[in-house]
């Protein structure tokens, strides 16, 4: 699978704060890669560095073999940032036409409006649109130049459920045609629904990465059990990584669920298994942040 973009040991400081501290990551064609992490983890800085909007102190970044921020790299990227400043007096249609004029072979505006169902408000002035409508115009603008890589920074926060579903349907259709996507989001459930790959970011670097499908079958699981064994005893069992007491049960986190279950039942044959399931992505994220605030 061809590599689309990479960061290699990238560093960026703002005074005493390390925004990126050895950030390394690779994105391959057809992937939808979600960056997850707390505010200040480095997700937005990583995206801005790929766009050439933030200069880095050290490291290497490339997009389709071109240096990040170069004309060739920018031509290949469509972007939807958290905060976009667009002329409030222009209509959505005027913004799309103005943006299309920047590209030698832009998308057909009429077709794009139809594909994204913008017809009901594209004639309004941008400043008079709702937040969700503005985000949908921003998404359309990110597609005008026929990008091969789409960077989406918290794209769906202002969208209602119906618009959000339509948004991801549009993205999925383009991924099927070869588009690659880099996404940042605080919505872990959304990441589970739309991403093919996940990278967890903390302290300006990637601390874990992988294919979501692999993570869902790699043995990490949680077991909710009613047992006579004390948490201290449960923690000593093979495959058990952590134990948390809940109201009526104990919650066992395991890197090898089958081994942990066998050991648990051997040690306490009367144990009542209430739940056995693959570890949720939210729990995987918390393992890296412990009890820190994730909002």
Q: In the structure, what pLDDT confidence band is assigned to residue 295 with cuts at 50, 70 and 90?
A: very low
Task: Report the pLDDT value the prediction gives residue 165, as an integer from 0 to 100.
Answer: 94
pLDDT in tens, 42-72: 999 999 999 999 999 999 999 999 999 999 9
Own/partner pairs for 226-234, CB < 8 Å, 24+ apart? 226/250, 226/271, 226/272, 226/274, 227/264, 227/268, 227/271, 227/272, 228/268, 228/270, 228/271, 229/264, 229/267, 229/268, 229/271, 233/267, 234/264
pLDDT digits (tens, 9 = 90+) for 238-274: 988 888 888 789 989 887 888 889 999 999 999 999 9
The span from the CA of 36 to the CA of 192, in Å, is 11
pLDDT at 151: 96
> Would you say domain 221-278 falls under CATH 3.30.70?
yes
Give the mean model confidence (pLDDT) for residues 191-204: 95
| Strand ranges inside 166-269, DSSP E | 180-184, 197-202, 205-211, 221-226, 240-245, 250-254
* Domain range 3-211, CATH class: alpha beta
Cα–Cα distance, 281 to 135 (Å, whole number): 26
Residue 89 tokens read as: 């007096």
pLDDT of 218 strictly over 80: no
Write down the domain spans for the chain.
3-211, 221-278
Whether 294 shows a pLDDT value over 50: the answer reads no
Cα–Cα distance measured from residue 22 to residue 206, given in angstroms and rounded to the nearest whole number: 8
Residue 291 confidence (pLDDT) above 70: no
Instruction: Specify the 3-state DSSP secondary structure of 4.
Output: strand
Distance in angstroms (rounded) separating the CA atoms of residues 202 and 36: 9
Taking only the tens place, the pLDDT of each residue in 138-186 is 999 999 999 999 999 999 988 999 999 999 999 999 999 999 999 998 8
Tokens of 55: 């200069």
Structural tokens at position 197: 């790959």
Estimate to the nearest angstrom the gap between the alpha carbon of 12 and the chain centroid. Answer: 21
Query: Which tens digit of pLDDT belongs to each residue from 103-129?
Result: 999 999 999 999 999 999 999 999 999
């Amino acid at each position: 699978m061809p590599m689309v973009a990479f960061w290699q040991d990238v560093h960026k400081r703002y005074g005493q704060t390390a925004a990126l501290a050895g950030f390394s990551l690779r994105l391959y064609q057809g992937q939808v890669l979600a960056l997850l992490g707390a505010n200040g983890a480095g997700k937005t800085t990583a995206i801005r560095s790929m766009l050439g909007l933030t200069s880095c102190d050290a490291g290497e970044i490339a997009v389709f073999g071109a240096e990040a921020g170069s004309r060739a790299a920018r031509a290949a990227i469509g972007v939807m940032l958290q905060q976009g400043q667009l002329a409030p007096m222009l209509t959505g249609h005027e913004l799309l036409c103005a943006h299309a004029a920047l590209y030698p072979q832009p998308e057909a505006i009429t077709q794009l409006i139809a594909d994204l169902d913008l017809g009901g408000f594209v004639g309004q002035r941008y400043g008079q649109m709702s937040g969700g409508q503005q985000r949908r115009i921003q998404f359309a603008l990110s597609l005008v130049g026929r990008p091969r890589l789409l960077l989406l920074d918290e794209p769906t926060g202002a969208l209602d459920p119906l618009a959000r579903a339509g948004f991801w349907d549009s993205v999925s259709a383009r991924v099927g045609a070869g588009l690659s996507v880099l996404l940042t989001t605080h919505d872990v459930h959304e990441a589970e629904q739309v991403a093919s790959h996940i990278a967890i970011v903390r302290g300006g670097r990637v601390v874990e990465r992988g294919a979501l499908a692999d993570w869902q079958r790699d043995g990490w699981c949680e077991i909710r059990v009613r047992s006579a064994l004390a948490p201290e005893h449960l923690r000593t069992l093979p495959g058990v990584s952590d134990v948390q007491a809940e109201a009526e049960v104990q919650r066992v986190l395991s890197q090898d669920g089958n081994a942990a279950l066998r050991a648990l039942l051997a040690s306490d044959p009367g144990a009542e298994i209430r739940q056995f399931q693959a570890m949720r992505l939210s729990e995987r994220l918390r393992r890296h942040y412990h009890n820190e605030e994730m909002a």
